Amino acid sequence: MKKKYEASTAENHVDILNIAGLEARVKDHMSNEKGAFGYISGGSEDEWTKKQNTESFNKRKIEPRVLQGIDHADLSTKLWDIDLKTPIIQAPSAAQGLAHAKGETDTAKGVAAAGSIFSISTYASTSIEDAAAAAPDAPQFFQLYMSKDDNFNEFLIKKAVAAGAKAIVLTVDSTLGGYREADVANKFQFPLPMPNLAGYSAGDGEGKGISEIYASAKQGIVPTDIQKIKNMSGLPVIVKGIQSPDDAELAIEFGADGIWVSNHGGRQLDGGPASFEVLPDIADAVDQRVPVIFDSGVRRGEHVFKALASGADLVAIGRPIIYGLNLGGAQGVTDVIEHLNMELSITMQLAGTKTINDVKNTELLW
């Protein structure tokens, strides 16, 4: 008999010293049965870009400012008409059922409790509807891996719209998977179904490898696809996976309502630049025409500060959220965001900045 995959069922506060230390704890807590931990934690090839994502933050410095009369930091901010308690949001991540038995439903609850935005992936372990029902009053986005079949794209988008999604996140940097050696070595196949693929396609992803999942993805995404998704959804479309100013310009020219600067956490093109390295030039090209969201490598509140000071409007985190989910369920997810909020608050006050707008107007040092 085929052994059922068993994920964490933890539901508790997670005591966090620092975000970077969570990975080793999750590795101990979560067996690598079926290659699940390798899938979540791994990057592509030599993982050089994955490492650079975090190390690149050390290339810029924050000037301490005193005598500014600041006795606390205000982390509240907005995206369009969405009020947020923090500039830190959740980056869409596939197959969260690998980390926790409740998967995206607990992530949605934990992110909502932190007053932030949850994004559900096309390749989630939870349906779009169930994730929305888990946090009915909180803002959620739907992240689309565009299919070659526009009928299927529309099928998914209609589900997201009916569930109350506030935006579509069109991921453009993952038309195929990067060469992730941990997944190859572990012969990784998804041990759990992906319910968003069921009901239309011939399967639901269970038992398939990454290359099989991506086989139905559209490899030849073009700029006009942005407007196509806008027309299907009637929602703002944020283009995720932008890594050059030219691509940001192109996306905005063809209707993008937001630019998401990301290299997929170092899971795609190894040898490419760190996400933080390209952020300032992209933000300059965008020139505040649309919001800029940033992710990849964020492990400290000071990283959030530096990203905001370099042109980001919001900062998204991926793996740390999944690690919190594994160790503590919904509460663990909230704890991860709150820990980063705490570090960010300290950084803001010591840098002489009271509001997120103050941070955005801060010039970093070399």
Numbered residues of the known binding site for glyoxylate? 39, 145, 180, 264, 267
* Known active-site residue 339: no
Annotated binding-site positions: 39, 92-94, 121, 143, 145, 171, 180, 240, 262, 264, 267, 295-299, 318-319
The single residue of 13, 29, 100, 264 carrying the catalytic annotation is: 264
Annotated binding-site positions for FMN: 92-94, 121, 143, 171, 240, 262, 295-299, 318-319
User: CA–CA separation, 282 vs 101, rounded Å?
Assistant: 38
User: CA–CA separation, 263 vs 226, rounded Å?
Assistant: 19
User: CA–CA separation, 170 vs 227, rounded Å?
Assistant: 11
Active site residues: 264
